[in-house]
Amino acid sequence: MLLFTACRRQPSPTVFLDPALAVLVPSDTKLLAGIRMQRLKATPLYESVILKSPRRLEFRKVSGLADDSEVWEYLIAYNGSDWLALMRGKFAEMGMEPRVDKPAARRVSYNGVTIIGDDQGAVAFLNPTTALAGRYEVVLRALEQRNSNSGVPLALEKLALKIPAVNDLWFVSVGPAPGFFPVEHLKTATAGLNPKTRELNMRIEADSQDAAESIATAVNGRAEGDRVVISGPATKGVLDWIFGG
């Protein structure tokens, strides 16, 4: 019994990077975010905030994926100008074509991979449980480069593996931050949100004290020199910032 207990795989104390998705992360990724959708849907935060959030609704509209039940988890990569959503879920029944709610979408086969969508947004289905979504050009580039990818950039992986596993929503960032923070560059950012308790822990290292103060104002955080800290229950303002409310 002692031997069996010792050999049994223990749960990871930090967030899990699904190898099937991690290997698809583009090498130029500067911000990486993870969402454990199956666990998130079991919390009140999903119904009260996320279900109606503008970011979720826009993603559904652009991608054509209409139902959250299809997706188990997301790994979202952002390079400072384009985002790419990597997904694990159940996208097709055995022998059936994947479901996309875009009546005018075109269907293209690229090296055996089905791509469904238009220029604004497309989904590529690598297999019945793995898919990626984004602008058509971004999706196509990701498919072209996937065999040469080496996985999550090391700097981002090191930051992600410091985030406790209770955080079903998290992100890490290095370098450029346009469109997400009110500064062009930052050194590093690490954030994790526990949806059950709504506890948010965020640490940001900016390029200057002025930049830190600008970020602190945007995220309702506390500036400490060139760093920004948030620790405690996420306020409505912070949730709106994260989910686009």
What is the reported pLDDT for 112?
87
Q: Which of 111, 131, 148 delimits the end of a domain? A: 148
pLDDT of residue 183 exceeding 60, the answer is yes
In a domain, 54, yes or no: yes
pLDDT of residue 6 exceeding 70, the answer is no
Distance CA 70, CA 33 (A): 19
pLDDT of residue 95 exceeding 60, the answer is no
Same domain, 159 and 44: no
Convert the pLDDT of each residue in 234-244 to its tens digit: 888 888 888 87
Average pLDDT in the chain: 87
Domain limits at 95?
Answer: 19-148
Number of domains in the chain: 2
Same domain, 180 and 228: yes
Output the CA angle 135-244-73, nearest 5 degrees. Answer: 60
Pairing of strands 113-117, 122-127: antiparallel
pTM for the full model? 0.89
Convert the pLDDT of each residue in 97-145 to its tens digit: 667 777 788 888 888 898 998 888 999 999 888 999 999 999 999 999 8
Same domain, 96 and 165: no
User: Three-state SS string across 114-164, please?
Assistant: EEEECCCCEEEEEECCEEEEECHHHHHHHHHHHHHCCCCCHHHHHHHCCCE
Q: Which of 65, 68, 44, 81 is nearest to 116 (CA)?
A: 65
Same domain, 137 and 84: yes
